[in-house]
Amino acid sequence: MAQSDQDLDRLSELLFALPHEHFPMTLGELDGYLTGVLACPDLIPPSEWLPHVWGETGDANFPDMKTAEDTIGAVMAHYNSLAEGLTRSVWIEPLYEVDPNSDETLWEPWIDGLTRAMGLRPAAWQALIKRADDDTQASIIFLMALQDICEGTSKFTEEEIDEIDLEAPELIPNCMAQVLILSRPELAMGVSANSPHPVRTKRPGRNDPCPCGSGRKYKQCCGKN
């Protein structure tokens, strides 16, 4: 079940309450991170990925048991929501952060979270790249190139980076759909088997039938957010 705005706001508040000196994840980072965990060809248990949410030390330093239960519960609820959503559609809706001063969409935290998840299983991702077709290879490489931009190590020109910056929010879901079809084929097959619409490698238009098979338009279903 998709989470409500209230659920997400509460999760964001709980993450923000973690010790800042440990650099815990923001909501955008967490969303990208959990998407990467779920997209990985290998199963990654919560006991392994959860400590990274709390920050560099892996220790959340919760002040009491109630706060610990609420925070862990909220993170797991978001994980389960994303996992359930992937059983209906490989088309994700990233939770991008927004610059409060300029209203600019900030895709960088989401990508940082994604690549941190990929770092949990580098061998699995390298193996996936080797067996991927050209389009999926290009998608993975592009996602990694976005992280290079975040870190200031990109070889793109400033003009190219400016163009990518504008296009990245729309390109990221397309790239992830390509990746998920290969890395989690059981999801893609499940969506296809239960839907009269084939799994596509192009993001559906807002007025197109939703690929999850609900019969509603994409903008009224999986694209509602």
Q: What is the pLDDT of residue 187?
A: 73
Total Cβ atoms within 10 A of residue 64: 8
* Calpha distance 48→142 (Å, rounded): 26
Question: With contact defined as beta carbons under 8 Å apart, do 12 and 27 qualify?
Answer: yes
The contacts of residue 80 (CB under 8 Å, 6+ apart) are none
C-alpha–C-alpha distance, residues 213 and 216, integer Å: 8
Rounded CA-CA distance 164/169 in Å is 9
The tens place of each residue's pLDDT in the chain, 225 residues long, gives 678 999 999 999 999 999 999 999 999 999 999 999 999 999 999 999 999 999 999 999 999 999 999 999 999 999 999 999 998 889 999 999 999 899 999 999 999 999 999 999 999 999 999 999 999 999 999 999 999 999 999 999 999 999 999 999 999 999 999 999 999 988 766 554 444 344 444 455 556 655 444 455 555 555 554
- Report the amino acid identity of residue 17: A
124 to 56, 81, 131, 149, 179: CA distances (angstroms):
23, 24, 11, 23, 13
- The Cα 214–Cα 216 span in angstroms is 5
By the 8 A CB rule, do 115 and 145 touch? no
Strand runs (DSSP E) across 53-158, as ranges? 97-98, 105-106
At residue 186, the pLDDT reads 83
3-state secondary structure of 106: strand
Amino acid residing at 206: R
Cα 169 from Cα 96, distance rounded (Å): 8
User: Which segments within the chain are labelled E, that is strand?
Assistant: 97-98, 105-106
Coil, strand or helix at 98: strand
pTM strictly above 0.85: no
